[in-house]
Amino acid sequence: MTLKAVRRAKRVMAPCTVVGDMRSFQRQTGFTYLAALFLVAALGALLASIGVMSSTAQQRYKEQELLLVGEQFRLAIGRYFENSPGSVKKYPATLNDLLKDERQLSTQRYLRKVYADPITKSDKWGILNAPEGGIMGVYSLSEDKPIKRDRFDEANQGFTGKTKYADWQFVYRPDPALK
């Protein structure tokens, strides 16, 4: 074997670790690129699932806020109605009447403020008018589909199975046994 043939055989048999050897660079580039693609795909899937979970958690929080604020309106309307002077009970004419009731000798406040709807982020509420006049309840103007469909507390049992937030109506109805 000639010296030239021996050198050529060593070059072919030797591992491709020489910096200037292009064969080594080409083999590793494909593997690294493929690994980077799989990593980006896995991170994308992970971030998408985190986004969905975060959105669901935020929606559940808004629902809890709506139930809390709606109950505050229901209680305030009930107190306004029950504290009516004289024998004739009246519902508030506007939601602002719940902020400052001047029908008594001293000013009564049933709410600190007219709360914003947690679902729509608006100060506008749907109003349920009483047959004899005034506001007997409120509801969200949102047509979105709620996540919570059952396991409501006793006061909100009527919300079971409702398909949109606008169906969650927070109404004060006086106890007929007290009349």
Is residue 26 one of the residues assigned to a domain? no
Instruction: Answer yes or no: are the C-beta atoms of 98 and 80 closer than 8 Å.
Output: yes
Query: What is residue 71's predicted lDDT score, i.e. its pLDDT?
Result: 96
Quick check: is 21 in a domain? no
Residue 154 lies in a domain: yes
Number of folded domains in the chain?
1
Range of the domain at 147: 50-178
Note whether residue 146 is domain-resident: yes
Is 6 domain-assigned?
no
pLDDT digits (tens, 9 = 90+) for 45-100: 888 888 878 888 999 999 999 999 999 999 999 999 999 988 889 999 999 999 99
Residue 36, domain member (yes or no): no
Task: Determine the Cα–Cα distance for residues 57 and 29; give it in Å rounded to an integer.
Answer: 42
Between residues 35 and 15, which one has the greater pLDDT? 35
In a domain, 4, yes or no: no
Which string of DSSP letters, residue by residue, matches 53-65?
Answer: HHHHHHHHHHHHH
> What pLDDT is recorded for position 171?
96
Distance from chain centroid for Cα 30: 44
Q: What are phi and psi of 126, to 5 degrees?
A: -75, 140
Nearest to 169 by CA among 91, 152, 178, 177: 152
Tokens of 171: 């109404």
In a domain, 17, yes or no: no
Read off the pLDDT of residues 94-126 as tens digits, 9 standing for 90 and up. Answer: 999 999 998 888 889 999 999 999 999 999 999
